[in-house]
Amino acid sequence: MVKLAKPATAGCVGGVSARISRRFSTFCRPREAYPIENFIVIYDLSSGTVARIEDNEAIPVPKAAGNYLPKYVGPARTDLKPISITQPEGASFKVTGNHVRWADWSFRVGFTPREGLVLHQLRFRDKDTERPVINRASLAEMVVPYGDPAPVRAKKNAFDSGEYNIGNMANSLTVGCDCTGEIKYFDGITTDSHGNPLTIENAICMHEEDDSILWKHFDFREGTAETRRSRKLVIAFIATVANYEYAFYWHLFLDGSIEFLVKATGILSTAAQHPNEKTPYGQALNNDGLYGPIHQHIFNVRMDFEVDGPLNAVYEVDTEIPADNPTYTAFRAVDRLLETEQAAIRKADSSKHRFWKIANRGSKNLVNEPVAYRLIPTNAITLAADDKAHVSQRAQFARNNLWVTAYDRAERFPAGEFPNQSTGSDGLHVWTQADRNIVDQDLVVWYTFGMHHVVRLEDWPVMPRQNIGFMLEPHGFFDQNPTLNLPATIEATTDPGQCCNGHQS
């Protein structure tokens, strides 16, 4: 935070990001943070001086209260009864150093300043065989571009991972608030901005959660019912990036599925307009001039796949209606091999029910097809900004949902090594110009997804959690359902009503 000398507005401060020279917006804070619209400070971090002040059209500072703290909200409700989550016999996982074994899964937990939580050497034990799935997986980049053309927000596009080092913003987590149940914590070992060692205690939490029904069937002919409960292993960290909180979760499931989930909450970055006016670029939050601008939260996850070994290939799978369709009811899934890096720059397409398979063509399943995992492209947004926009040049990874590259240890971050000073000369769009072969190669899959945040009144004064993420599922990786050996939670019964009542989700 930088305190401005007079004649700037008394009692107001501005927030600065870690760049050589940067615009920052200003807020007046007698009790709460009220935006001072159209007042911009250009601050030179190298010299530690204010380089320029831009004072545009004066707009009254909103002052209507909007505080979420208990002393302002009033008494808490009392009609909710406690939910107790216990494991009397302890957790099912075993931890040795940073190595974890849970059910059929094994992996190593890592942490970096820029990425935060990293999972290494994800493997699944299939009968007596340890089968590799992913060698390394992490959040590689994120960008938050704003769609409001007003002076303060027109160039607002924070790279919360690459610019701010989201790992170093990790919270120290606590039982009962951030994590619930039988918890194992890992410290985040990282460095500060000067390269000194830094330990963030309890930066990562890991626990098991019940996950409703995994599979069920009542056979009315035999009068038998079988139900199995699902559970998942949760490995998570939470970072506070100025106004927003981002909770990042890796979920591992008993059937071999993997989910990456981002839970976004915190405080909106607000703006001001004239009282009783309504800008088309945001949602009015009160009648005093406060509004929440439209924006996006766009994430990219880097996954160094190793499906049954290091040599993999990627197929795009679309559902199509065949030309020969006399009954008008036919449709089928069609695979297309993506052979080069340029061919694998793809967007999701819900009209074709598109997904992608990461396959090992040298490893075959029961029906002589390549074993594979499929990436289901949920929350598959891309940049809404025009291609000519500055943010589009810097965050070109966000213009497509899928990228696939031949592994290169120097290619770590989709917007390049140094996005805070980038003009678009590094990153996925540059590396893929080589158009390398990606068939039966050591591959890295990059998936772009996010939240298109059209602000609503319910997001104020603190935003309820919004879930954003995607799934990875075995697709012919196993020869059949791998969870047939799960124990029933109650004995099988010929009374379907009793079984259903005992297993409701």
Active site residues: 160, 244
Rounded to whole angstroms, the Cα distance separating 87 from 93 reads 12
Residue with tokens 């831009």: 54
Rounded to whole angstroms, the Cα distance separating 238 from 264 reads 10
If 0-12 CB within 10 Å is exposed, 13-18 middle and 19+ buried, where does residue 83 land? Answer: exposed
Rounded to whole angstroms, the Cα distance separating 32 from 9 reads 15
Classified as helix, coil or strand, 249 is: strand
Classified as helix, coil or strand, 496 is: helix
Rounded to whole angstroms, the Cα distance separating 103 from 86 reads 18
**What totals of helices (H) and strands (E) does the chain contain, helices first?**
4, 27
**14: nearest Cα among 57, 59, 47, 45:** 45
Is residue 198 within 8 Å of residue 168, measured between CB atoms?
yes
Alpha helices (H) in 69-173, listed in sequence order: 70-73
Assigned token pair, 180: 């619930």
The one-letter amino acid code at 88 reads P
Cα separation values, 469 from 211, 287, 378, 387, 414, Å: 17, 34, 7, 25, 18
Rounded to whole angstroms, the Cα distance separating 347 from 402 reads 6
Is residue 319 within 8 Å of residue 333, measured between CB atoms?
yes
Residue with tokens 């002076």: 151
Interior CA angle at 166 toward 163 and 168, to 5°?
110
**316: nearest Cα among 400, 402, 441:** 402
Residues listed for the chain: 505
**299: nearest Cα among 89, 500, 136, 158:** 158
Q: In the beta sheet, which residues pair with residue 360?
A: 371
Assigned token pair, 277: 């006016």
Handedness of CA 30, 34, 36, 42 (dihedral sign): positive
Q: What secondary structure letter does DSSP report for 364?
A: E
Cα separation values, 428 from 163, 168, 174, 305, 401, Å: 17, 24, 37, 17, 12
